[in-house]
Structure 1
Amino acid sequence: MRTNLLAAGGAAAAVIAVLAVTLSGVLTPSSDGTAVPDEEMQALKGLVHASTSLADAPAVKYNGTITSTLASGSLTLTVTDLTVTAAGDVHGTVKQEGNGSAEWLQIAGKTLAKGNKEFWQKRPDKKQPAGVFIASVPDDQWVSTEEATLGIDLRDALRPARLGAVLRQQDTSLGGTEVKGTPLTRGDKTPDLRVTDSVDSTGVSETEVEDADGGVDGVRRYQATSMTVGVDDDGVATALRGSLGKGYGGDTVKVEADLKVAPLDDAGMREFYSSAKTSVTGAKIGSREIVVPDPDGGLDCSGARCVITYDLRNTTPGLDRGAVAIALHSSLKSNGRDIGSCDGNGNMPVNGRGRVTCSVPFAQNADVNSSSRMTLTLNGELDPAALAAAVQTGIDVSAASKGWTMTAPKATEEARRFNRQIALVSSGYVYRVGDYAFDGREKDGTLLLVHGPGYDAHVASNGGFDPAWAGTEQLLSQARDAREAAGDKPIRMVFAEGRSADAARGLLIANKIENVEVVTVPLYA
C-alpha cells in the first residue's frame, strides 16, 4: 500500500472526513423526505465559506477598531481604509486613543509612518548622548519606526489567511483538551496527528439581522463562541466582531476587533502595491531608531585658532541608504570669559561615520573650554531596487493566496499552539497546493510543515529517528510528497525541538530529498 499517496491527498480527505462525520449526526428529513443538514450545520457551512473566502483573498481592506487588553489596561486602535495583503504588506490610516494619528505603511521589510505632531509627541525619541539632538521630522514626512510602535503587529493580526481562520474560533472552542476521534491517515503516528471529532457540536449558529440593531453589518450573521460574522448575499464576509483568537501577542493578551472587511480581488491588490510604491519612491525618510554613540571630540588651540573636531557614527536599523547631516554649534570660554563661537556642517552616510569641525580665532596661551551642540537631520531613502523586488514578491505571493481549506484539528493542545505560533492559523486550516496540504504559508510564500513537541522521544542514540517508529516513514513521505507538490516554491520544516530537527535533516539527506529547509523554533511558554 502507498501510504505516501494518502499523505499527499491529506487535505482533500480531511475536509470530506470532517463534514461527513459531522453531518452524520445532524441530518433531519425535509418535507419531501430527503435528509438535509440542521440549522447548526447550515450555519457552519456558511461560516466556513465566509472564513475560507476571506483567507483566500489577495488583500483585504479594513475599517474599525482593534482593542488590546492587558492587566495594565487596554488600548484601542482605529483603522481607516487599512489594506493588508496576503503577503503581509500594510497601508492605511491608524489612530490611537489620545496618541494621535498617522498614515501607516509596512512594505519591503520596513515600517514607516507619516504621523501628526501628537502621534510623535506621545512616542519619545531614543535617548542620545549629551549635546546630540535629532531634528524634528515634519508632519508630512515618512519616518522609519519600529514594528512595535502601535503595540500590535497589523501585518500578522490582519493578514487575510490568519483572520479568515479566526472566524471559526476553533482553537477557542477546543481549549486545552485533547481531541478524540478518528485520526486522519497523514501523520497519524506522529505527535501532529489530526483527528476528526464526531462528538463535539459545531458550536456555530445563525442569528437574526434587524435594522439598526447594533450588530455587525451583513445580510446574514453567524455566531461562533465570541466571534460574530456578517456576510453579503454571496456569503463573503463583510464585518466581524470578537476575539482575534488564541496565540496573538501571547495567550495572556486579549485582542478584540470590531471591523468592516472588504476582500479585494487581484486588481485591487495590484493597485495597492502600485500606490504604496509610488508614495515612498524617492521620498526623504526620517527615523525614530537612529542611535549615535558618544562622539569622539577634540579641541586644538596650538595655533592661531582653536579648532573643534568631532567624529560621529550612527546606526539606523530601519534604513539602508541615505545621509545624516550634522550641524555643529560650539561656544568657547577661557578663564570663564567668552572668546567666541563657531558653526560647522558635516555629513555621514546612514549606518556610517562622519566628521564635523569649526574654529574660533584665539592666539593666547591660556586654558580653553568648549561647549558643543550637534543637531542631526536624517535624509534616508529606500533602495529602489529592493523596493521594486519586494513589491513584485508581494504581488506574486498575494496573487497565489487561494488554497486555504478547513480540515480536522491537531489532537493535542501543544501541537495546536505550536501551529498557531508558526503558521499563524489554527491547525484546523491547511493551505493546499494541488492535492497536498501544507500547515501554512509564510509572508514570502514559503510553504510550511509544522512539527510540534514530542518528536525528540523518537530520536535514537545515533541522532536519527528510530527506523522502527512508524512516524519516521510518515515524515519521509510527507517531505517527499511536499517537495513534489511544491514545484519551485520553497519549503520549510519547522520543529519545536532541536534534536528532532537534526534527525529530520539527516533523514532528508540520506534519502536525497533536497531544497527543504529544516529549522528549530522553540514553543513559546
Structure 2
Amino acid sequence: MKRQSNTVPVLVFGTGVVALIVALILAFVPFSTSGAAEPTAAFTAQKNLDEVAFQLGSAPGARYSGTLSMTSDGSAGTKTVEFTDLTVASTKNAEGSITFDSTGAQYRQIGNYRYVNGPSKLWRDLFAGASIASQIDFAATDNKWTNLRYSGLPDLGYLLSPALLAGRIGNTERVKEPELGLELPAPNKGLPDARFWPTSDPQVTAIGADKVQVGTMETTFDPSSKRVTHIKGEFAREGYRVTVDTAVDLLAPEDLTKLFANERSLVPELTNVPAPAVPLAGNAINTRASGNCTTAACEFTIAASGALAPEVVTEMRGATGHVNFGITVQFEVDGSRAGERGGTCTRVLTVPFGGRTQTTCSATNLPPGSRSVKTATNIQLLPFIEVTATDLTDYIDSQEKSSKQPVEMVRTGSKKAEAARYNDQVAGFPSSYGIKQGDYVFDGVGPEGNLFVAFGPGYAQHITTGRLDPSWSGTSMLTDQLKQQIAASGDREITYVTAEEELATALRLLAIGEGISSDKLKVFATAPDNS
C-alpha cells in the first residue's frame, strides 16, 4: 500500500539541560512594561491556546460539523464541502455525511484512499468546465462508491486531522516573526535549524474567556477543561488556501472503534471502484485503416491506451487499475453518413493502467465505386483503481494501531525565519511546537504516526563528495542526534525532510553508515515553498 508522510527534526534533553531550559523559559516570559510582575495579556492568551492546541493535537480523533472551502493556486474556483458528524481519526481515516454544491453524499477515507457515494451529479459538478467531461461515463458513478483521487474535492481526513489542525490554530509565527533571544543549547545549537527563545509577545489575542485568535484563526474552547469547541479561519498550505468553520468534539480511542469496524465491512465494495478523475494521456483511442477496402467491407483497427498523464505517472507508480472504454464508430462513406452505408460499430474495451489493447471494426454495405471511408469515433471512458481485500484490510489494521499511539505536543523555542517557514511547510507545525517521543522532541508527527525532522536550507555548504564533512562539528552532532532519535522513536518510523537534495543524499549515506534500515528512516528532499 502506498502511503504518504509529512514533517521534521528532534530535540534531546538530559536532566541538566531541562533545568537550564526551564530557567530560560522563565527568563523570557514577557511581562508588563508597566513594572507589574504579571505576564502580558498575549502571554496568558498563548498559555490558553497551548493548552487547547495540545489537547486537540493529542486526541486520537474528533467529530466535526461545519464547512471547509479550498482554493488551489491557479484555480478559478473554490470547492466548498459541508459536513455533518464527520468523524476524523488522527490517521486521516474518516466517515460521515457531506454536501458538495447542494448534492449530498457519504464520505469515507482510509488513510490515503478517499471515497464518496452519492448521485452522479456530484461528479458532474466536480468536472464542471473540464473539456474531458463529455467523455466520462458518469452514469456508472451514480450512488456507487467512487475513488476521489485527483478530484479536487478537499482531503477532509488530512485537513481535519487533529494533530495537524492543532498546529494550524497555534501558528503565531505565520502572523509575525518573533524576536529571538538566547539560543537553546540542544539539540541544534549552531545548526541552521537551531531554536531560540522568543523575547517578544506572541501574536495571540484573547477574546473573552473562551476564545483566542491567531491571525484569522479563531479558536473557541471550554474555559475550565480547555477542550476546543469551534474553529474558524483561514490557513494556507503549499499550492492552496483553506477556510474552515466547524464545531469540534474531541473523541477518545474507544469512540473510533466503530469507524474502523465500518471500514472493514466496506472492504469488499472498495477493491475495484471507479476513479473518474485519474487523468489519462492524450489520444487514448486511435482509429486507423488496417487494410484495403473491398466492395464488401473496409476494416479499421481501434487501439486503446491506458497510459496515464505524464504529470501523475510518478505519483501513481505502483497503483493498480484499468480503464473501461465504450467506443462507438460511425462510418462516413464518400463524405456522407446517410442511409445504411458504412454502418455503426460499438466496442467495449478494458485496458490496464499503462497498457494497450486493440480491436477491429468494419464498414459494411459499401456501394459500388466507393472512393473513401472515414470514421467518426465517440468515446465514453471510466478509470478504475484496484486494491486487494487483504492489502486494504492490513492498511486499516495499521491505521487503527497508529490512531492509538499517544501523541504529546510540547512548546519549545522558535527557529529563525527561513527554517521556521520550512518547518511549517514540512510538518504543518510552527517551529515553537514539537512532538515529545521518549527523550526527544521531534518537529512534528504525520497522520501515519511517523515522526518528522525538518532540515531547512544551509547544510549543503558542509557537504563534500556527497557526504557531510567530517571536519564540520555539525556532522558529529547530526550523527549523535540520529542515534538518539532512533532510540527514542520506539516502533514509529522517522521521516527526514530536507530543503536541499545534497543533504538528503548525505543523510541517507549517514544512516547506512550507522546501520539504520530504510524501513525505519525515510529521507526525502522537498524544495522550500517561497510563495
TM interval, shorter chain, is 0.7 to 0.9
CA–CA separation in structure 1 for the residues paired with 2:182 and 2:509: 33
> Contact between 1:10 and 1:435, CA under 8 Å: does it hold in 2?
no
Match of 1:397 among 385, 396, 402: 402
CA–CA separation in structure 2 for the residues paired with 1:164 and 1:10: 30
The 3 A distance-change label for structure 1 pair 223 and 358 is closer
CA–CA separation in structure 2 for the residues paired with 1:256 and 1:315: 36
Match of 1:47 in 2: 49
Match of 2:5 in 1: none
State which drifts further: 361-370 or 184-193: 361-370
The 3 A distance-change label for structure 1 pair 440 and 374 is same
Match of 2:503 among 490, 500, 503: 500
The 3 A distance-change label for structure 1 pair 169 and 463 is closer
Q: How many Å apart are 1:452 and its aligned residue?
A: 0.5
Match of 1:406 in 2: 411
Q: How many Å apart are 1:426 and its aligned residue?
A: 1.3
Which residue identity lines up with residue 333 of structure 1 in the other structure? V
What's the secondary structure of 1:164's corresponding residue?
A: helix
Q: How many Å apart are 1:417 and its aligned residue?
A: 0.8
Q: Is the counterpart of residue 485 in structure 1 residue 470 in structure 2? A: no
> Contact between 1:143 and 1:288, CA under 8 Å: does it hold in 2?
no
Give matches, 1:417-428, under 5 Å.
417-428=421-432
State which drifts further: 434-443 or 11-20: 11-20
Which residue identity lines up with residue 234 of structure 1 in the other structure? S
Which residue identity lines up with residue 244 of structure 2 in the other structure? A
Match of 2:278 in 1: 289
Give matches, 1:215-294, under 5 Å.
220-232=210-222, 233-244=224-235, 248-249=237-238, 255-279=242-266, 281-282=268-269, 284-291=273-280, 293-294=284-285
Q: How many Å apart are 1:164 and its aligned residue?
A: 0.5
Match of 1:521 among 500, 523, 526: 526
CA–CA separation in structure 2 for the residues paired with 1:113 and 1:364: 51
What's the secondary structure of 1:165's corresponding residue?
A: helix
Match of 2:3 in 1: none
What's the secondary structure of 1:487's corresponding residue?
A: coil
Q: How many Å apart are 1:312 and its aligned residue?
A: 1.1
Match of 1:196 in 2: 197
CA–CA separation in structure 1 for the residues paired with 2:76 and 2:347: 46
CA–CA separation in structure 2 for the residues paired with 1:7 and 1:473: 17
CA–CA separation in structure 1 for the residues paired with 2:77 and 2:432: 30
State which drifts further: 284-293 or 313-322: 313-322
Structure 1 unaligned blocks of 5 or more: 210-219
Which residue identity lines up with residue 427 of structure 1 in the other structure? S
State the TM-score, normalized to the length of structure 2: 0.79
Give matches, 1:323-362, under 5 Å.
324=324, 326-331=326-331, 333=333, 336=336, 338=339, 339-351=341-353, 352-359=355-362, 361-362=364-365
State the TM-score, normalized to the length of structure 1: 0.80
> What is the percent sequence identity of the aligned residues?
22
The 3 A distance-change label for structure 1 pair 463 and 334 is closer
Q: Is the counterpart of residue 20 in structure 1 residue 26 in structure 2? A: yes
Which residue identity lines up with residue 281 of structure 1 in the other structure? P
Which residue identity lines up with residue 257 of structure 1 in the other structure? V
State the number of aligned residues.
496
Match of 2:152 among 133, 145, 149: 149
> Contact between 1:282 and 1:381, CA under 8 Å: does it hold in 2?
no
The 3 A distance-change label for structure 1 pair 519 and 390 is same
The 3 A distance-change label for structure 1 pair 287 and 278 is farther
The 3 A distance-change label for structure 1 pair 222 and 472 is same
The alignment yields a C-alpha RMSD, in angstroms, of: 3.9
Match of 1:386 in 2: 391
What's the secondary structure of 2:259's corresponding residue?
A: helix
What's the secondary structure of 1:287's corresponding residue?
A: coil
Report Cα offsets for 1:447-504 as digits up to 9, x if no partner: 2221111112333x55543444332222111101011112343223222123333333
Give matches, 1:102-141, under 5 Å.
102-107=105-110, 109-114=112-117, 116=119, 118-122=121-125, 123-124=127-128, 127=131, 133-137=135-139, 138-141=141-144
Which residue identity lines up with residue 392 of structure 1 in the other structure? D
CA–CA separation in structure 2 for the residues paired with 1:11 and 1:277: 47
